[in-house]
Amino acid sequence: MFCYQCQEALKNQGCRVNGMCGKKGDTANLQDLLIYTVKGISVVAQKAGTVDSEVGHYVVKSLFTTITNVSFDDDRLIDIIKQGLALRDKIKGKYNVSGDLHDCAVWNAGTKAEFLKKAEAVGVLATENEDVRSLRELLIYGLKGIAAYADHAIVLGFEDKAIFDYLVEGMASTTKELSVDEMVAKVLKAGEVAVTTMALLDKANTETYGNPEITEVNIGVGKNPGILISGHDLKDMEELLKQTQGTGVDVYTHGEMLPANYYPAFKKYDHFFGNYGNAWWLQDKEFATFNGPVVMTTNCLIPPKDSYKDRVFTTGNVAFPGVKHIVDRKADGIKDFSEVIALAKKCQSPTELETGKIVGGFAHNQVLALADKVVDAVKSGAVKQFIVMAGCDGRQKGRSYYTEFAEKLPKDTIILTAGCAKYRYNKLDLGDIGGIPRVLDAGQCNDCYSLVVIALKLKEVFELDDINDLPIVYNVAWYEQKAVTVLLALLHLGVKNIHLGPTLPAFLSPAVVDVLVKNFGIGGITNVDDDLAKMLN
């Protein structure tokens, strides 16, 4: 295997035996083979001249499945690959696609051994040129994030064919010999599509569940048994709340599901207790102390320990060997959480980790409602700077940098955040500025779109020609591929001088880093004091 798609790639170079995320070598190789299968479908769909919804949905789900911490199940991966090969050949027959096709569009296999053998030959390192490989992988990882956000929207009944078209175009392009300029253009186009996709998901979420509101979220525990739900899927959240009503079981969010607390549609449920714990990487400790069942709805799963493995349920694209899986809802149907609820009733209530409340719900609609107050604070000098500290959290000790950075920020600065990076500072007592909290949490990683809308509105209010003239600096933490998608979205919008940490991605070759530095001012991080002096100059 060789994998370097996440921030924790071994020695910031790449994992070669097993993944730091916990996936085994064979699993990593099969994920590479699934990507190769998607490339084949994309090549054939381009030749056919059409991308129908069946192709679009398959590409979306397959790309999402290969994101870090989603699927660890080899048999499930092989089954998805087989579905892809059948779909690829179906398109060929339907549209009479033939001729000289790339190997990804013609290969086949039958046994698990054959799949594994093929997988070893089509991984990341099959592209020998380092810079070509870097740009191709940068594009693919951006497309994976787009696919994840598109999948969330599809679940709620919202989709856009143009997104499917570009996913196919982008994946097919990685099989072609393109110039550096052409590959860079594909990457920047992915940034444009990322903005479109996040806007679609924002529409899906808000039209379905209402606009997030400023909310105090309880971080303590109750006396009833509970179910902990993690990940990002709000539809799963809705159905779980409905099915647990009147059962004597409380529901708690974890990790990236925290922002579900901000949506009006969920506040009517009295048994929706609050949030338990912190970011994804602490789940091995927090799932154990929660005592009740845990539902993993999307990525963020780490290999569960035996002490609580029998209480973990996966659903959607998430899968782990030996863990119970809740099957997908059928068209116009619902998921059945009855087994989870039955188990919860037999469990003890959660062990208390902390007490108190945290405040969130500062998505674009809520912040724009406070626009006059925010603008007055800037004009008066009460607020000197906004710091975008969005993105992902992770295990590396060096990520304590972000806690220290938040603590040392001047009192006239406000943090804009989204994603699980916020767990490094959202429980600090940083106070407020004239009633405006100094940490404004917009929500999940996909809600970085809200931060974009806020920035563009401020640009309009202050009558600026360039978004980079705003008193906003970017100190973004990344871990997995959705963060790459957000980065590409910011680059498309012309945002420059983004600081990315705790390390620059291993998949960026020196030459590609040079392009990003020259064209966009992308930089890493050093130490808190020096970075504060540089960013707040």
pLDDT digits (tens, 9 = 90+) for 22-65: 999 999 999 999 999 999 999 999 999 999 999 999 999 999 99
> Do residue 85 and residue 126 come from a single domain?
yes
Measured in whole angstroms, the distance separating CA 298 from the mean position of its chain's CA atoms is: 9
Q: How many CA atoms lie within 13 A of 428 on its CB side?
A: 19
Q: Which of 208, 240, 258 is the last residue of a domain?
A: 208
pLDDT value at residue 332: 82
Count how many domains the chain has.
3
- Is residue 80 assigned to a domain? yes
- Is residue 353 assigned to a domain? no
How many other CB atoms sit within 10 Å of the CB of residue 404?
15
pLDDT digits (tens, 9 = 90+) for 316-357: 999 999 999 999 998 889 999 999 999 999 999 999 999 999
What average pLDDT does this structure show over 426-435? 95
Please state, in angstroms and as integers, the Cα–Cα distance from residue 146 to each residue in 63, 64, 132, 150, 191, following that order: 9, 9, 21, 6, 9
Hey, what are 254's tokens? 């974890």
Q: Which of 190, 208, 226 is the last residue of a domain?
A: 208
> Do residue 193 and residue 95 come from a single domain?
yes
Provide the edge-to-edge strand list for the sheet that holds 472-477: 439-441, 413-417, 385-388, 472-477, 499-501
> Do residue 202 and residue 238 come from a single domain?
no
What average pLDDT does this structure show over 97-115? 95
SS3 220: coil
Which residues on adjacent β-strands are paired with residue 166? none
Q: How confident is the model at residue 424 (pLDDT cuts 50, 70, 90)?
A: very high
> Do residue 147 and residue 219 come from a single domain?
no
> Do residue 335 and residue 373 come from a single domain?
no
pLDDT digits (tens, 9 = 90+) for 435-492: 999 999 999 998 999 999 999 999 999 999 999 999 999 999 999 999 999 999 999 9
- Report how far residue 392's alpha carbon sits from residue 444's, in angstroms, rounded to the nearest whole number: 10
pLDDT value at residue 331: 83
DSSP state string for 3-15? B--STT-GGGT-B
pLDDT value at residue 112: 95
pLDDT value at residue 96: 95
> Do residue 393 and residue 263 come from a single domain?
no
Give the H/E segment covering residue 273.
Answer: strand 272-275
How many other CB atoms sit within 10 Å of the CB of residue 521?
13
pLDDT value at residue 260: 98
Q: What's the burial of 504, exposed, middle or buried (CB within 10 Å: 0-12/13-18/19+)?
A: middle
> Do residue 195 and residue 245 come from a single domain?
no
- Is residue 2 assigned to a domain? no
> Do residue 340 and residue 396 come from a single domain?
no
pLDDT digits (tens, 9 = 90+) for 491-517: 999 999 999 999 999 999 999 999 999
Note the residue count of the chain: 537
- Is residue 230 scored above 80 in pLDDT? yes
CATH value at residue 400: 3.40.50.2030
Hey, what are 75's tokens? 């048999």
Q: What is the residue-averaged pLDDT of the chain? A: 96
> Do residue 437 and residue 525 come from a single domain?
yes
- Is residue 255 assigned to a domain? yes
- Is residue 5 assigned to a domain? no
> Do residue 372 and residue 335 come from a single domain?
no
pTM, full prediction: 0.97
Q: Which of 191, 208, 225 is the last residue of a domain?
A: 208
pLDDT value at residue 49: 96
What average pLDDT does this structure show over 131-143? 98
pLDDT value at residue 268: 96
- Is residue 537 scored above 80 in pLDDT? no
pLDDT digits (tens, 9 = 90+) for 236-273: 999 999 999 999 999 999 999 999 999 999 999 999 99
pLDDT value at residue 58: 98
- Is residue 352 assigned to a domain? no
- Is residue 426 assigned to a domain? yes
- Report how far residue 334's alpha carbon sits from residue 402's, in angstroms, rounded to the nearest whole number: 40
- Is residue 356 assigned to a domain? no
How many other CB atoms sit within 10 Å of the CB of residue 336?
13
> Do residue 15 and residue 144 come from a single domain?
yes
> Do residue 270 and residue 197 come from a single domain?
no
Query: Which residue shows structure tokens 């006396």?
Result: 223
- Report how far residue 237's alpha carbon sits from residue 244's, in angstroms, rounded to the nearest whole number: 11
The residue segments making up the domain with residue 405 are: 361-535
CATH value at residue 92: 1.20.1270.20
